[in-house]
Amino acid sequence: MDVIETKIDTTSDEYRRNRDSMEALVTELKEELRIAREDRPQKAKDRIASQGKMPIREKLERLLDRNTPFLEIAPLVGRGMYDGMIHGVDWCAA
């Protein structure tokens, strides 16, 4: 198999700017994913509990074996909609 040699200069200023920019975007994405997964107002948590529902993360923890690969599809599907907040699914029928 032929080896494809790169012509990217990893010491150039342009490369460093691009890398820094991408690292900032990845950090922002990770924070938005964390918010979608974890941040819920207490009022929302209480409403879910009063309806006899279980938070989806808790249900997944009970259903999946530890270290089982899990692919969450479209965790940021509601990003930027409605009130500008990041929303994730926070309930699943028990």
The residue whose two tokens read 């309930």 is: 91
Report which DSSP code applies to 49. Answer: H
Output Rg (C-alpha) for the chain, integer angstroms.
Answer: 20
3-state secondary structure of 33: helix
Report which DSSP code applies to 65. Answer: P
Average of per-residue pLDDT values in the chain = 84
Dig out the tokens for 23 from the structure. 């690292």
Give the pLDDT band of residue 31 (cuts 50, 70, 90): very high
Give the separation between CA 26 and CA 20, rounded to whole angstroms. Answer: 10
Q: What is the pLDDT of residues 9-20, one digit of tens each?
A: 999 999 999 999
Q: What is the pLDDT of residues 32-57, one digit of tens each?
A: 888 888 877 888 888 888 999 888 88
pLDDT value for 2:
92
**End-to-end CA separation in angstroms for the chain:** 54
